[in-house]
Amino acid sequence: MIEVDPDLRTDIRWQLIERITASPPFQKSTRLRDLLRFMAERTIHGQPQDLTEHRIGSAVFGKPQDYSVVEDSSVRVHVRQLRLKLHEYFDGEGRDETCIVEIPKGAYTTVFRTVEQKTAATPVVNNLIDVSKPWLRLLPWGLAALFLVTTVAGWLRSPSVSKPASAPWPLATLFDQSNRPLQIVVADINYGMLRLIDEQPVTLERYLSPAYRSGDPISNAHPTAREARVMKYLSGSLLTSYADVVVVSTLMRLTCDSNDRLVIRSARELRPRDLEEGSFVFVGSPSSNPWVSYFQDKLNFQEREGVVGESPKFFQNLHPGTGEQETYHGLAFTGSSGEDYATISLLPLPNGRGSVLILQGLQQEGTEAAGLFLEDADNRQKLQQALGISGSPGRPVYFEALIRTNAIAGSSNATTIVATRVLHP
């Protein structure tokens, strides 16, 4: 909780901030509450020098003083989320507020704007009419009828305007009626490189530990100066892959009418509490996005790996069906040519308060193929047919699908469906 000057509590602007942060849209996000309170307090006190991205990262999110805002976008991500939450508040519980709070794009200051209350217009037509003449008394009704006729005629003659297309299945499942943002969680390539350096698998629990994130994952107790510099850079920066960029770009095209609800996040920024509610897309496999392992026990096709950095990864088919293999091996490393595999999975969150779409490939080529697969309408139709569903189902249909792609020098193409499962969580 951001401590504030007691005198501030008598300010009507701060009272508005307290009503906003106490509302349901902010109840499950301590970080957004602290962020709004910090920004509003500095704005009201006239301290804009404190409202820089770097200062907010240090004061609100506990970032080290030497952290790089170029490599760490967490402040920008949370400010975008905060704008959405403010819109949600003023469209709902706060729709009768006489003052609203806005955060201009590209800025980190709060703007308080007074809203004029709407008043009902007083009819004045009858005062302008000489009631002594009967035809004048009928004039308003005649004009109203004429307006109605011309409006209907114009509507019938004008070409029909189609409604904006909604996101196609299965993305439509993620856009529920609560108007929540769709959070796309991209892979943490730094995590993948740290695994290779350390030559050890990493659990989600260890990934979340302060020691791991401070650059202490290497098993060598006495790293060289070069190793220490590399570890410091990898632990403090945020990098993702080209495949993830392709997938994000694909999802933005598929949801062009709902882009304002997309939030891009790094796997490193996520916390377990974030998964209590919402809609998510996880990009990458457990070896690059450890959050995918959070859902692995719900899947039939699970990524396996022998010696980290030496053994090629593969998908284990826990319950092979007729004509299916027990294992599916992909490329030995990213950038080579041959077959690679990926899975597309739609699952509910553990508590049922949202859904998650997972796009994971054994290598980057597989992950890229999973995103491009969903962009093709014919592929989506084939997947629906394989799952035995059609159109936009009235209720979520959870599933997983194993796909194969032919990769040539790092580029994926010719993707086909290998196996599918309808999940009953």
What's the pLDDT tens digit per position in 238-290? Answer: 788 888 898 998 888 888 767 677 888 888 888 888 888 889 999 999 988 99
- Cα angle at 393 between 275 and 418, to 5 degrees? 80
Query: Tokens representing 59?
Result: 């004061």
9-36 average pLDDT score: 87
* Structural domain boundaries in the chain: 6-114, 171-188+240-422
pTM of this structure: 0.62
Please report how many Cα atoms fall inside a 13 Å half-sphere around the Cα of residue 51, on the Cβ side.
Answer: 23
Does position 135 have pLDDT exceeding 80, yes or no?
no
pLDDT beyond 90 at 186: yes
- Residues of 115-138 as b/e, b for ≥16 C-beta within 10 angstroms? eeeeeeeeeeeeeeeeeeeeeeee
Q: Regarding beta strands 278-283 and 399-408, do their DSSP bridges make them parallel or antiparallel, or are they unpaired?
A: unpaired
Tokens of 270: 């996520």
Tell me the C-alpha distance between 89 and 82, whole Å. 10
Quick: pLDDT tens for 187-220.
988 887 777 777 777 788 888 877 666 655 555 5
Return the minimum-mean-pLDDT range out of 102-111, 172-181, 215-224, 326-335: 215-224
- Cβ-proximal residues to 147 (8 Å cutoff; 6+ apart), any chain: none
Q: Distance between CA atoms of 316 and 165, rounded to whole angstroms? A: 38
Least confident of 22-31, 298-307, 407-416: 407-416
pLDDT of residue 107: 77
pLDDT of 20 over the 50 cut: yes
Nearest to 51 by CA among 33, 38, 32: 38
Residue at token pair 């090629």 = 312
Q: What does the alpha-carbon distance between residue 263 and residue 358 come to, in Å, rounded to a whole number?
A: 16
Total H helices, total E strands in the chain: 13, 12
Q: What fold is seen in the domain 6-114?
A: Arc Repressor Mutant, subunit A (1.10.10)
Going by pLDDT thresholds of 50, 70 and 90, the confidence category of residue 132 is very low
Q: Is the dihedral of CA 26, 32, 33, 39 positive or negative?
A: negative
Q: Spelled out in words, what is the top-level CATH class assigned to the domain 171-188+240-422?
A: alpha beta
Termini Cα distance of the chain: 37
